[in-house]
Structure 1
């Protein structure tokens, strides 16, 4: 992903070029040398504003064969706490 920086004047003179650049990455538009706006492709905008997934959704495997997994027992060598 490449980031393009344009002044407001450059953006106004070549809007088509800015739109083409936004396909490759964000286009930062400056006002008086300071970043003021960002132009993104609609795909990137949708990706950034998409609903965050819950951890269960992120870890869920797509439909496919069932996988059997049995975690091995772990012995940490701990002893029971005495509360007397």
Structure 2
């Protein structure tokens, strides 16, 4: 990739969490980044509402801000086209 590294890494983490909740170590392993980097990025994403910590504080999941962004994009899209890859 030739973009901004921190943006690419944050997006990769969001894609990872789209598969379900995960802890820092699990995310770091999946995205092949140091735990310290993943922890910093998750903290920033949490401040922005893009991810949320579980009640126990051990895992992260996609946050309401990301759901709002996705929902805002749907009205202009054909729902069948959007859903087909997931069926």
Could you tell me the TM-score, scaled by structure 1's length? 0.23
Higher helix share: 2
Higher strand share: 1
Which structure has more relative contact order (CA 8 Å, sep 6+)? It is: 2
Query: Larger radius of gyration, structure 1 or 2?
Result: 1
Could you tell me the TM-score, scaled by structure 2's length? 0.23
